[in-house]
Amino acid sequence: MFPPFKVKVAGLDKRAKYIMLMDIVPVDDCRYKFHNSRWIVAGKADPEMPKRIYIHPDSPSTGEQWMQKIVSFHKLKLTNNISDKHGFTILNSMHKYQPRFHLVRAADIMKLPFSTFRTFVFNETAFIAVTAYQNEKITQLKIDHNPFAKGFRDTGGGRSSKKIKMSEGGSQLHLPDGRQRPRGLSAAGPADDSDDDDDDEAAAAAASFDTDDDIRSGDVGSLTGHLRRGFAAGNLIPSLLAAGFGGHHHQLQQHQHAFLQQHQHQLQLHQQLQLQHQQLLLAAERQERRRRRDSSG
- Report the alpha-carbon distance of residue 107 to residue 19 in Å, rounded: 7
Say what the pLDDT of residue 187 is. Answer: 62
| pLDDT at residue 253 in the model | 55
Block mean pLDDT (10 aa), the chain, length 297: 86 95 94 92 93 91 96 93 89 94 90 84 92 78 72 47 30 32 54 38 32 35 55 48 50 58 71 78 82 78
Q: By 3-state DSSP, what share of the chain in percent is helix, strand and coil, each rounded to 5?
A: 35, 20, 45
- pLDDT number for residue 158: 40
- Chain centroid to CA 294: how far? 71
Q: Are 202 and 93 in contact (CB under 8 A)?
A: no
pLDDT, residue 32, reads: 96
Nearest partner of 245 among 92, 108, 116, 96, judged by Cα? 108
What pLDDT is attached to residue 172? 30
pLDDT for the residue numbered 201: 33
pLDDT for the residue 47 = 92
CATH top-level class for 6-150? mainly beta
What does the pLDDT read at residue 42?
94
Length of the chain: 297
Q: Show me where the domains of the chain are located.
A: 6-150, 256-292
